């Protein structure tokens, strides 16, 4: 990550670390030698992630956080810096799920919920990481934003989610530009359908032509491999965008 701090021994912050991709990312980084702080709204879920860490749990820090609240994000990064001394990597993973409905049926509260978490929360965490990375010595670090194929091509009846992920793409570009002079790299990982962690079958997804189809899923390990590739880049190198998805998943053309 930075001169004097090897990628294997850096300090990572993972949001949404209590389940899904965030949990998988946190445990993978931990296994590679990182010290990892995980944030999320549910304390119990964060503690479950720590329990899965086994003997590496002493290098983890859990911080219940609503990333849509500036004061809680500030407290999160203050606690990380107090415990570990610096921030080398932020995986901006936390997001919100809202029902897929036609444009005219989108509820205002659902629109606000996804914007508050996916857009505002991603910005607030990136801002605090940016502040830490430009001030620390040696300075610099890496921010990885969790985008989605929908940051480039929408699905039907998903205007709020699509808009939010397009905003994350804009944040990634702006952070990359503004971070250059401070040694801060920013990239985005766009992940397609991932196998459900609970083993349930993949439900049918509505296609662009109005039909429904069960789409192929990606093993969770493929996501982990892609994220670790991005996180392990040496100083001066960056994976700007990485899209990982099942070969047959509708994306280019979406149908």
CATH code of residue 187: 3.40.50.720
Mean pLDDT for the stretch of residues 67-91: 97
Mean pLDDT for the stretch of residues 64-74: 97
Asked, for residue 250, whether it belongs to a domain, the answer is no
Asked, for residue 252, whether it belongs to a domain, the answer is no
R_g of the chain computed on alpha carbons: 18
CA nearest neighbour of 149 among 114, 189, 109 = 189
Give the number of other Cβ atoms within 10 Å of residue 166's Cβ.
17
**CB 114 within 8 Å of CB 98:** yes
pLDDT of residue 230: 97
pLDDT of residue 255: 64
**Structural domain boundaries, residue 153:** 7-244
Asked, for residue 199, whether it belongs to a domain, the answer is yes
Asked, for residue 194, whether it belongs to a domain, the answer is yes
Asked, for residue 84, whether it belongs to a domain, the answer is yes
CA nearest neighbour of 207 among 171, 159, 251, 155 = 155
Active site residues: 161
**CB 133 within 8 Å of CB 126:** no
pLDDT of residue 142: 98
CA nearest neighbour of 125 among 182, 87, 165, 181 = 87
pLDDT, one tens digit per residue, over 147-196 is 999 999 999 999 999 999 999 999 999 999 999 999 999 999 999 999 98
pLDDT, one tens digit per residue, over 93-122 is 999 989 999 999 999 999 999 999 999 999
Count of structural domains, the chain:
1
DSSP state of 73: H
Give the largest Cα separation in the chain, rounded: 55
CA nearest neighbour of 12 among 39, 45, 48 = 39
Give the number of other Cβ atoms within 10 Å of residue 67's Cβ.
26
Asked, for residue 251, whether it belongs to a domain, the answer is no
**CB 156 within 8 Å of CB 136:** no
Map residue 92 onto helix, strand or coil. strand
Asked, for residue 83, whether it belongs to a domain, the answer is yes
């Amino acid at each position: 990550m930075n001169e004097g701090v090897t990628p294997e021994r850096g300090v990572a912050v993972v949001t949404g670390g209590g389940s899904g991709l965030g949990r998988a990312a946190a445990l993978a980084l931990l296994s590679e030698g990182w010290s990892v702080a995980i944030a999320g709204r549910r304390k119990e879920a964060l503690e479950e992630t720590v329990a899965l860490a086994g003997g590496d749990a002493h290098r983890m820090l859990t911080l219940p956080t609503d990333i849509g609240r500036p004061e809680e994000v500030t407290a999160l990064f203050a606690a990380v810096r107090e415990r570990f001394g610096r921030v080398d990597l932020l995986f901006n993973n936390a997001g919100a799920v809202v029902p897929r409905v036609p444009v005219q049926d989108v509820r205002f509260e659902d629109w606000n919920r996804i914007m508050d978490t996916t857009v505002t929360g991603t910005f607030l965490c990136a801002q605090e990481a940016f502040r830490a990375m430009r001030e620390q010595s040696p300075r610099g670090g890496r921010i990885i934003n969790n985008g989605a194929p929908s940051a480039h091509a929408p699905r039907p009846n998903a205007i709020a989610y699509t808009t939010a992920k397009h905003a994350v793409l804009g944040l990634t570009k702006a952070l990359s530009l503004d971070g250059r002079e401070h040694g801060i790299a920013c990239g985005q990982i766009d992940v397609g359908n991932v196998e459900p962690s609970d083993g349930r079958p993949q439900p049918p997804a509505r296609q662009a032509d109005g039909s429904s189809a069960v789409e192929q899923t990606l093993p969770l390990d493929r996501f982990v491999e892609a994220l670790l590739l991005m996180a392990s880049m040496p100083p001066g190198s960056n994976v700007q965008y990485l899209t990982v998805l099942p070969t047959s998943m509708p994306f280019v053309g979406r149908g």
